Structure 1
């Protein structure tokens, strides 16, 4: 495993108020570790950054030892406290085409961005998809909003789940 470190602000470019976020790293496809033949599933790994500082550290399978081309896509699941005191998904921010490649040595997330085809260090990503029943409080130009309850089991009978995709211009 390789340690990937960083700060939530490295991904989001800023803060989203007092919301707590869970950073998700999803491997693009199942793979095989070169040399050992071990199968690596295409699962999602999560890390909760420090609430006060945004700092995080997570161990991921290195992509440079995988038999097939591999990368992780990065997204942030924003949580909210429900009336019952349970933390529940409030919104999912998916950063379209934002991917990292992890060397065996690991590293800081801001040094692992895959810039192939993009040229140079990536700047703020304007192709963010916000998945929530409520609109984002500070949308950026070209940001997308999918009006849908986030999480693995949205309520199909909730009228707020319109499935509409909107874009800010």
Structure 2
């Protein structure tokens, strides 16, 4: 199992202690392990339901998708179980999980937007504007000092960062 962790907070960064949420990870299709200690194991697209802790932290032990056939990923939905609207949120992310797991922000596959086929869907690329390298994969990196447009170290070059 691969640990996937994160935290749920409101748009102001405040723990949502007054709201009750359920996170539901679902494989996009039936998966078959192609390598690991149990090759040939079939994993049906059953939901994995996670209730975050009172401080918003969550940990989901998921089967790694990088050792599966065919091309597999998880989707995520948030169910508000406290009777307040909205009732369900579907962000449309493709979450690809390596054997080592990781934090949710590291595992969202932004290739091709939310529709996944290239083109279409919203552009979910994150921009990193700094003279130092981004810490996350798949960021678009503008090598620029955001506080000093006249900094001689500014290159103005844009990179798609994949450490």
TM-score, normalised with respect to structure 1: 0.59
RMSD: 2.7
Determine the C-alpha separation between the residues in 2 that align with 1:122 and 1:109. 14
Determine the C-alpha separation between the residues in 1 that align with 2:11 and 2:86. 19
Q: 1:93 corresponds to which residue?
A: 89
Give every structure 1 segment of 4 or more consecutive aligned residues whose post-TM-superposition deviation is greater than 3 Å: 12-17, 118-123
Give CA-to-partner distance per residue, 1:111-144, whole Å, 9 cap, x none.
1111112477459xxxxxxxxxxxxxxxxxxxxx
Q: 1:54 corresponds to which residue?
A: 56
1:44 aligns with 2:47: yes
Contact 1:64 1:103 survives alignment (8 Å): yes
Query: Aligned with 1:46: secondary structure?
Result: strand
Q: 1:24 corresponds to which residue?
A: 24
The structure where strand makes up a greater share of residues is 1
Determine the C-alpha separation between the residues in 2 that align with 1:17 and 1:57. 17
Determine the C-alpha separation between the residues in 1 that align with 2:86 and 2:57. 21
Tell me which of 82, 98, 103 is aligned to 1:103.
98
Contact 1:7 1:55 survives alignment (8 Å): yes
Contact 1:3 1:106 survives alignment (8 Å): yes
Gapped runs of 5+ residues in structure 1? 82-88, 124-169
Q: 1:3 corresponds to which residue?
A: 3
Flag the structure with larger Rg. Answer: 2
- Number of positions where the alignment pairs a residue of Structure 1 with one of Structure 2: 113
Determine the C-alpha separation between the residues in 2 that align with 1:65 and 1:13. 35
Query: Aligned with 1:111: secondary structure?
Result: helix
Tell me which of 111, 128, 151 is aligned to 1:116.
111
Contact 2:21 2:82 survives alignment (8 Å): no
Judged with a 3 Å threshold, the aligned counterparts in structure 2 of structure 1 residues 13 and 66 are, in CA distance, closer, same or farther, namely farther
Contact 1:75 1:94 survives alignment (8 Å): yes
The structure where helix makes up a greater share of residues is 1
